[in-house]
Amino acid sequence: MISYDALERILKEKGIGKTELSLKLGISSRTIAKISKGEKLSKRSIQKIANYLKTRPENLMREVVENPILQLLREEKESRLPGGLYHELQIRMTYNSNHIEGSQLSEEQTRLIFETSTIDTQDGVPVDDILETVHHFRAIDYVIEHAEDLLSEEIIKHIHYILKHDTKDSTLSWFSVGDYKKRANMVGGRETAKPSEVAGRIKKLLENYNAIEKVSIEDIISFHAEFEYIHPFQDGNGRVGRLIILKECLRHNIIPFLIEDKKKNFYYRGLNEWHNERGWLIDTCLDSQDSFSRLLSMLEIPNS
């Protein structure tokens, strides 16, 4: 599909108006209207425009994906449109995911960082809370950019690197930023995978998950729970796991679900009891999906 923004930019650079383009190439006003609406053009029309502007056809193109939510997020990310879905996703997911893990930043402070790159610390907050907020914004960008890629160890490790680089943890000799843990850890008194087991268990988890022919929301929830049971990193596992949820929902055209801080206790209970009772975590995630659907409705974005 031809990108109206790209065409506008090239026309401006060359000092050519849309009327001149239409007259010189014999392109109808209807075709110009199609471009402005983001509708598809024939390859012949695109090549004709590219030849006249002395540029390659791909410079006029934008990738269009089947998932309308992913398409919208990519468009709004590129244009930095304020007040849209991308804007709200960044703030709401970053605030809730970090707050679940103990960040002292409020939602309003998170919003201020995203919107103005400034913060009113008032009583003061840890520097790492600020760094990890900015890093989380970048991690969401990475997830949107790579949403359609097959989930892999490389992607998982890179998400961890984005979140934890330059933080206090990264100065510790035994803390592996962007790599699996070196020291055993526990979660809520529960043992997790030993460092020597992590690589093998993650590979097996990915192998089983990526073999599913049609991934459902229950499959994504199951992957998340098993990932958290392995707990492959020294720290940051919850945030990495929830970013994987977003990526895989976007990849498989499933309405995303963002775990809100106010649902933290239900979320943790669901994770802790996963191997005994799966319904609790599934119900919490489905309720969170309903919340995301309401956000789409508020922004007048179709759910499908």
- 238 carries a ligand binding annotation: yes
- 236 carries a ligand binding annotation: yes
* Cβ atoms < 10 Å from Cβ of 196: 9
Residues noted as catalytic: 231
| 119 three-state secondary structure | coil
- Please identify which residue in the block is written with the tokens 């049971």: 229
- 30 carries a ligand binding annotation: no
Residue burial 219-254, b: 16+ Cβ < 10 Å; e: rest: bbbbbbbbbbbbbbbbbbbbbbbbbbbbbbbbbbeb
- 268 carries a ligand binding annotation: yes
- 95 carries a ligand binding annotation: no
CA distance 41 to 46: 7
- 237 carries a ligand binding annotation: yes
- 242 carries a ligand binding annotation: yes
CA distance 16 to 111: 39
49-to-5, 26, 31, 88, 129 alpha-carbon distances in Å: 14, 10, 11, 36, 49
CA distance 283 to 84: 27
CA distance 204 to 304: 32
Which residues are known binding-site members for ATP?
235-242, 267-268
Which residues are known binding-site members?
235-242, 267-268
